[in-house]
Structures are given as structure tokens and as C-alpha cells.
Amino acid sequence: MASKSREKSPIEDLSYEDARDELATIVATLESGGLALEESLALWERGEVLAAHCESWLAAARARVEPEDGPGEDDGPGAEDEDDD
């Protein structure tokens, strides 16, 4: 039961892919139903933290690829030329 041991892993130690995969498993488990209320709530709460962890990974990746001056400062190459025509 690899998923049981993964569920107990500290979320901050998970890669983006591992967190995303565990979150998908939690969603599928909750959608299938049949769990006790307390177990469902525990899974939901872990899913919320996993989702925030994934968003942190994505925000960090976005920051690495966006220009330093931030979005909206420059609409990309040739943006001024298009308006001049």
C-alpha cells in the first residue's frame, strides 16, 4: 500500500508531481463516496493543503519564467508595432 505511506508524507517534502497525484487520488476517493464523515473530512483537509502546495510550486515556476518587470509591463515583442499600422 504505497498510497497509505505517501498520504502520511509531510506535504512540504512532496514534489509537485507527487502532490498533484496524491490530490487526484483524494478527489477520486471522495467522489466514490462510502467513507465515514471523519475520514472524508481528513481527506478533504489534506487535499486543501496539497492544492495550496501545488499552487506554490506553480507560482514559483511562473516567477522563474516571467520577466522581472512583471506581467502587463510589456505585451511581448512587436506589441508596439501592431498599434502603429
Tell me the domain boundaries of the chain. Answer: 37-65
Hey, what long-range contacts does 76-81 have (CB within 8 A, 24 or more apart)? none
pTM > 0.85: no
Bigger pLDDT: 85 vs 66: 66
Of the two residues 60 and 9, the one the predictor is more confident about is 60
H helix intervals, 1-85 = 2-7, 16-32, 37-65, 79-84
Per-residue pLDDT tens over the stretch 16-74: 999 999 999 999 999 999 999 999 999 999 999 999 999 999 999 999 999 776 565 55
